[in-house]
């Protein structure tokens, strides 16, 4: 079945450092891909998405490119801020839907220090 | 309301008791999901409702877990004879029926079984 694998955390960075959180997936065809973020004490929010190969999702300075050849959707940000401290989840929705459910990775906790 | 609403926000129960968790989806969202987020774990899919179709129950971990959705709106997740391993945050999400659109999550119910 479809699955998502994320790099394990926690990840600790200094402010203004470059961020990469790796995400790879296993799925049939071309699933839709998502990054969700969970800030401390808050619910999950969609950060960005891409629905076809080579699409780049972007939001709040974060970017991720849908790479079919490497089945990856790595999250990047050029200069992180303390306010980016959160747990980040990579997710997919398969083309055969599997009931339409989203399949999530384990989550990666990011801590940004001033 | 504007977002997905879950109640209660916190629930402490004794082992062996039954609990009911409630989810009010966004109006007009026909798709509704329940997920479980255990400490240090990712998001585990539990059940998915789509309109009047039969729900996808493939993620329910045991027959102690059940869910219903009345009138295509409010959903209740019931856990019977709770066990300590049921302690987790239970998240509800809803989505418009068309594919590729984001799912909106509630704040979750933190269940603690003592």
Closest chain A CA to residue B38: A106
- Between these two residues, A103 and B13, which has the higher pLDDT value? B13
CA–CA separation, A100 and A29 (whole Å): 15
Mean pLDDT of A22-48: 91
Buried b / exposed e over A59-80, threshold 16 CB at 10 Å, is eeebbbbbbeeebbbbbebeeb
Give the closest residue to B33 by CA, choosing from B112, B104, B107. B104
Mean pLDDT of A78-102: 85
Closest chain B CA to residue A98: B56
CA–CA separation, B57 and A63 (whole Å): 34
Beta-carbon separation of B102 and A34 below 8 A = yes
Q: What is the pLDDT of residue A91?
A: 94
Residue whose pair of structure tokens reads 């984001």 in the numeric block? B102
Looking at residue A69, the DSSP 8-state letter turns out to be: T
CA–CA separation, B37 and B50 (whole Å): 22
Buried b / exposed e over B65-95, threshold 16 CB at 10 Å, is bebebeeebebebebeebeeebbbbbbbbbb
Provide the number of CB pairs (under 8 Å) joining chain A to chain B: 59
Q: What is the pLDDT of residue A87?
A: 94
Residues of chain B with pLDDT under 50: none
A96, two tokens: 């055969």
Q: What is the pLDDT of residue B99?
A: 57
Q: Which residues of B touch A34 (CB under 8 A)?
A: 102
Beta-carbon separation of A100 and B106 below 8 A = no
Beta-carbon separation of A101 and B48 below 8 A = yes
pLDDT over 80 at A97, yes or no: no
Closest chain B CA to residue A35: B102
Q: What is the pLDDT of residue B46?
A: 95
Beta-carbon separation of A99 and B100 below 8 A = no
Give the closest residue to B68 by CA, choosing from B76, B57, B60. B76
Cis peptide before A10 (omega within 30 of 0): yes
């Amino acid at each position: 079945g479809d699955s998502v694998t994320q790099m394990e955390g926690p990840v600790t960075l200094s402010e203004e450092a470059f961020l990469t959180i790796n995400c790879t997936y296993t799925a049939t065809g071309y699933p839709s891909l998502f990054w969700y973020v969970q800030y401390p004490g808050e619910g999950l929010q969609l950060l960005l998405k891409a629905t076809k190969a080579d699409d780049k999702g972007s939001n709040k300075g974060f970017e991720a490119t849908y790479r079919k050849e490497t089945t990856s959707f790595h999250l990047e940000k050029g200069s992180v801020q303390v306010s980016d401290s959160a747990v980040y989840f990579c997710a997919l929705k398969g083309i055969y839907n599997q009931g339409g459910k989203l399949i999530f990775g384990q989550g990666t906790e990011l801590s940004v220090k001033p | 309301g504007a977002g997905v609403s879950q109640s209660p926000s916190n629930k402490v129960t004794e082992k062996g008791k039954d609990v009911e968790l409630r989810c009010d989806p966004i109006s007009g969202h026909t798709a509704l999901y329940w997920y479980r987020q255990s400490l240090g774990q990712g998001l585990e899919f539990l059940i998915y409702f789509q309109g009047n179709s039969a729900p996808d129950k493939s993620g329910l971990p045991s027959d102690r877990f059940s869910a219903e959705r009345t009138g295509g709106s409010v959903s209740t997740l019931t856990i019977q004879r709770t066990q300590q391993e049921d302690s987790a945050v239970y998240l509800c999400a809803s989505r418009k029926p068309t594919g590729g659109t984001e799912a909106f999550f509630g704040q979750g119910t933190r269940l603690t079984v003592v």
